[in-house]
């Protein structure tokens, strides 16, 4: 294996936790960070969640991400854990840190979405989405922080364009992603004295397995009037996962060493509309 001293890249030798790493943007972040010299702790639930209208990833998906990291000659530790479970997250991260010899950054990326009009949105949807997206991001930060407080580090929390604007028909999701911003700003203030930076990333649409088909049904039918809110300013329908990973890479790297409390939009201008 390549020794740390020989590693080249923008995050050479850094050890980074990524949640929701089995597929989609989580996989992209892990691979992009590995390309630039990072070792990874990869966490995912790897099973379906009742109440979602699309399937989540599998253990095979998580192993495939690990293989892609290893192809870059970087180390990958995988753990199956639910970000809603604070104890499981603490244990998973502690085991990964023991194997990699430390931690430098975390990327709270795991997330879920439900869609519906105000009169079809249920308390169960609210609890599920807030539990995964908001409390799950907190649990991820809380599991990472004990390993960062002595030497500093970077927390990157994945929000959304819906964490900046009032994206309709996904109200619990929109609220959860605004919540991620508030949580991150509060942590950024509290942890700055420890040299720990906390930033959020706000993607517009990316084609992944997170596919709430009912949203498209409502937007192309009874609430077509709301469609323009989802329209990017730049002439692209969606951005690539790698576009978002490049923002994550910058925030994990020392290139952003004096950047904290930033809401980093990779949104093709959807939030300026």
Ligand X SMILES: NC(=O)c1ccc[n+]([C@@H]2O[C@H](COP(=O)([O-])OP(=O)(O)OC[C@H]3O[C@@H](n4cnc5c(N)ncnc54)[C@H](O)[C@@H]3O)[C@@H](O)[C@H]2O)c1
Q: Hey, CA dihedral for 233, 207, 137, 176, is it positive or negative?
A: positive
- In the complex, the smallest distance separating the C-beta of residue 151 from ligand X, rounded to whole angstroms, is 27
Residues pairing with 223 in the sheet:
none
Give the DSSP H or E segment for 184.
helix 171-191
Identify which of residues 195 and 208 has a Cβ nearer to ligand X in the complex. 208
Can 173 be counted among the known catalytic residues? yes
Q: Please, how many CA atoms are within 13 Å of residue 4, restricted to the half-sphere of its CB?
A: 9
Give the DSSP H or E segment for 63.
helix 59-71
- In the complex, the smallest distance separating the C-beta of residue 153 from ligand X, rounded to whole angstroms, is 20
- In the complex, the smallest distance separating the C-beta of residue 220 from ligand X, rounded to whole angstroms, is 17
Burial 88-120 (b: 16+ CB within 10 A, else e): bbbebbeebbeebeebbbbbbbbbbbbbbeeee
Contacts of 103 (CB under 8 A, 6+ apart): 15, 16, 17, 41, 93, 96, 97, 144, 147, 148, 153
Q: What is the end-to-end Cα distance of the chain in Å, rounded?
A: 49
Identify which of residues 26 and 172 has a Cβ nearer to ligand X in the complex. 26
Identify which of residues 73 and 273 has a Cβ nearer to ligand X in the complex. 273
- In the complex, the smallest distance separating the C-beta of residue 7 from ligand X, rounded to whole angstroms, is 27
Alpha-carbon gap, residue 193 to 265, rounded angstroms: 25
Contact footprint for ligand X (CB under 6 A): 19-20, 22-26, 44-45, 56-57, 82-84, 109-112, 132, 136, 158, 160, 203, 205-206, 208-210
Identify which of residues 47 and 150 has a Cβ nearer to ligand X in the complex. 47
- In the complex, the smallest distance separating the C-beta of residue 129 from ligand X, rounded to whole angstroms, is 9
Q: Catalytic pick from 138, 173, 250, 264?
A: 173
Identify which of residues 72 and 159 has a Cβ nearer to ligand X in the complex. 159
Active-site residue numbers? 173
């Amino acid at each position: 294996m390549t020794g740390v001293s020989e590693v080249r890249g923008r995050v050479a030798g850094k050890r980074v936790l990524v949640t929701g790493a089995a597929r989609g943007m989580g996989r992209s972040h892990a691979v992009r960070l590995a390309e630039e010299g990072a070792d990874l702790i990869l966490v995912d639930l790897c099973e379906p969640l009742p109440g979602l209208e699309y399937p989540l990833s599998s253990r095979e998906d998580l192993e495939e991400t690990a293989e892609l990291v290893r192809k870059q000659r970087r180390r990958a530790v995988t753990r199956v854990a639910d970000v809603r479970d604070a104890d499981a997250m603490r244990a998973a991260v502690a085991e990964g840190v023991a194997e990699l010899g430390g931690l430098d950054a975390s990327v709270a990326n795991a997330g879920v979405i439900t869609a519906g009009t105000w009169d079809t949105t249920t308390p169960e949807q609210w609890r599920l989405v807030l539990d995964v997206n908001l409390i799950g991001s907190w649990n991820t930060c809380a599991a990472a922080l004990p390993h960062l407080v002595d030497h500093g580090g970077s927390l990157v929390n994945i929000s959304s364009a819906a964490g900046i604007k009032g994206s309709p028909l996904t109200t619990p999701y929109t609220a959860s992603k605004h919540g991620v911003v508030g949580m991150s700003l509060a942590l950024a203030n509290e942890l700055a004295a420890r040299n720990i930076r906390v930033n959020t990333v706000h993607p517009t649409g990316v084609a992944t397995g997170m596919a709430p088909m009912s949203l498209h049904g409502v937007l192309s039918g009874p609430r077509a009037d709301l469609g323009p809110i989802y329209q990017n300013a730049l002439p692209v329908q969606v951005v690539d996962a790698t576009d978002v990973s490049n923002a994550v890479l910058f925030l994990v790297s020392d290139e952003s060493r004096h950047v904290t409390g930033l809401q980093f939009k990779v949104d093709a201008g959807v939030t300026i509309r």
